[in-house]
Structure 1
Amino acid sequence: MEAFAPGSVTAFFAPTADGDESMGASFAVEDGIVADVRPFEDSDADSDAAVTLDGEPTDFEPVEFALDALDVSARADLTIEIPIGRGFGASGAATLATALAANAEFGLGRSREELVEVAHRAEVRAGTGLGDVFVQEMGGLVVGDGETRRSFDRADPLEYVSFGSIATEEALADEALMARIEREGAASLDALGDDPALADVTREGWRFARAIDLPTDEVRETVASAEAEGGVASMAMVGETVFAVGVDGVLPNRTAVCPDGAELR
């Protein structure tokens, strides 16, 4: 059974009081991850891996944790359309798609809400994310305050470029950085209006990124180049990736906000 989950980009965030979720603003993107889940058979034992990524065996902790939580003996073959470790929520998309596909493949009868929670807990346990799966389940532009999440129907095109990865596990474990994130993320959330445009979120995201002192020189220069062309740009959280709206042909990769959430295929 196959399932697809869109990638997601977080413009700004802050951890909730319990540290297990996040508040902030994120949006789903049309590119994502397909998970093909089937029973783990004796012939699979030679690969010594329950997960493959574009055909290659790999260790993918949150996916493995989700399969364990669902209590199934399965393998998940992942086909990826987004960069890994560069702020596109790849681990969340892979884990959510795997949970949806496993539920259908094995007839588990879990509700969508339960499967999202399984994927979320797997991400928290692995230290790879705090809220990506909620955005990927809903689709569109998602703004949350830690208690409620609102999804706005957006389909804006955007461009992006990735220069490198930032280890989410290390960022979430950096106490000084997380203290800045908590302060500035709450301020960014307060600054948003009731019906924010993607450009508004991007603009506030760039203020947030600079306030927590995360952008590299290359990121700063690329944001400036997009702004010089009349666009609005910022940095994906957490990755050395610049995304821009209101531009055409400025950055090498193009996608769009995905208005729909994860689904079976």
Structure 2
Amino acid sequence: MQVRKRSARAFAPAHITGFFCIHDHEDPRKKGSTGCGIVLDGGVVTTVTSAEELEETQIILNGEQVGGHTTRTVVNMLTNSPLLVESVANIPIGCGFGASAAGALSTAYALNDALSLDLTSAKLIETAHIADVVNRSGLGDVIAQSYGGAVIRTAPGAPEYGKVDWIPVASKEVLCLTLGELDTGSVISDPDFAWRITSMGKGAMKRLMISPTFETFMQCSRDFALGTGLASDTIIDAIEAVESAGGMASQAMLGESVFAIAEPERRDAVIEKLSEFGQPLAYHLNNCRAGLL
């Protein structure tokens, strides 16, 4: 007998962190980060299909079967049934765009609908957050992707504990340049980096809250990238090149990527400078958030 399949589709946007502080806790619901970042219109679309003929859950990313540890944790937390999880990402993977969190969060929403679990958004967000932190693939992306915009994370953790505020900002183009991957887990588990990140992050947060504008966010992010020592020589060169063309730029945390903004009259000059290092990608900052499609 052919097994009837139930499926659902959901989207979760990319999130670029500009600066952050690490907040460790034995309870993964309370573990996370504070800081500020931006949510983009690019992201991950995931289709979840109930597939009882499979022996175990299969996770497909951009047409290829992957381990998908963060996404798999979400599945295991919500069901014992085997699923086919198919994600399509139009953002770079492992480069500071919150792709692991977006995959996990979109999976949670689609799985909930496909299996009629009738869970609230808070529970789905909590599940994705726990999966992200226990797999050390991220700390604060999930909560930001759940709200959209320029998100200030003022308290760490899942919805019951985490709190957010926003920088009021109109939709704007964000130019991105990916130079390579960076292992989030190895950085946040390094005691020296963790201390510098939290120290610099606290200072950046104080500056931002005194003057909560998008320009301040960009300046604080730039100073954070350089001050923590996370920015490589190539990242620094790319940031300085953007600034020489009249734009503002910083590093996507945590990734070997640059994100930049420019006034319309300086856009072409900024793209030309970024193109010296690779192929720029264009997204938009807006108020899109995770949810069903």
* TM-score after normalising by structure 2: 0.86
Q: Secondary structure at the match of 1:100?
A: helix
Matched residue, 2:77: 69
The question of whether the paired residues in 2 share the 8 Å contact of 1:87 and 1:238 is answered with yes
Measure, in 1, the Cα distance between the counterparts of 2:63 and 2:24. Answer: 40
Measure, in 2, the Cα distance between the counterparts of 1:198 and 1:59. Answer: 37
Q: Give structure 1 regions of 4+ aligned residues with deviation exceeding 3 angstroms.
A: none
Measure, in 2, the Cα distance between the counterparts of 1:17 and 1:214. Answer: 20
Give CA-to-partner distance per residue, 1:201-245, whole Å, 9 cap, x none: 111101011111111111111101110111110000001101111
Q: Secondary structure at the match of 1:11?
A: strand
State the identity %.
Answer: 29
Give CA-to-partner distance per residue, 1:72-99, whole Å, 9 cap, x none: 4222100011001100000000000000
Question: Which letter maps to 1:248?
Answer: R
Matched residue, 1:260: 288
The question of whether the paired residues in 1 share the 8 Å contact of 2:71 and 2:131 is answered with yes
Q: Secondary structure at the match of 1:192?
A: helix
Does the alignment pair 1:137 with 2:146?
Answer: yes
Matched residue, 1:102: 111
Q: Secondary structure at the match of 2:288?
A: coil
Shift of the alpha carbon at 1:153?
A: 4.6
Measure, in 2, the Cα distance between the counterparts of 1:101 and 1:166. Answer: 28
Question: Which letter maps to 1:96?
Answer: L
The question of whether the paired residues in 1 share the 8 Å contact of 2:57 and 2:85 is answered with no
Shift of the alpha carbon at 1:18?
A: 2.6
Measure, in 2, the Cα distance between the counterparts of 1:152 and 1:106. Answer: 37
Measure, in 2, the Cα distance between the counterparts of 1:195 and 1:117. Answer: 31
Superposed CA RMSD in Å reads: 1.5
Does the alignment pair 1:21 with 2:32?
Answer: yes
Matched residue, 1:156: 172
Matched residue, 1:50: 58
Shift of the alpha carbon at 1:199?
A: 2.5
Measure, in 2, the Cα distance between the counterparts of 1:211 and 1:230. Answer: 22
Alignment size in residue pairs: 262
Shift of the alpha carbon at 1:49?
A: 5.4
Matched residue, 1:206: 222
Shift of the alpha carbon at 1:12?
A: 0.2
The question of whether the paired residues in 2 share the 8 Å contact of 1:138 and 1:151 is answered with no
Shift of the alpha carbon at 1:16?
A: 2.2
Question: Which letter maps to 1:255?
Answer: Y
CA distance 1:256–1:197, shift in 2 (3 Å):
farther
* TM-score after normalising by structure 1: 0.94
Matched residue, 1:9: 16
Measure, in 1, the Cα distance between the counterparts of 2:222 and 2:154. Answer: 19
Indicate which of 87, 94, 97 corresponds to 1:78.
87
Matched residue, 1:169: 185
Matched residue, 1:37: 48
Structure 1 residues without counterparts, runs of 5 or longer: none
The question of whether the paired residues in 2 share the 8 Å contact of 1:124 and 1:130 is answered with yes
Indicate which of 116, 125, 133 corresponds to 1:124.
133
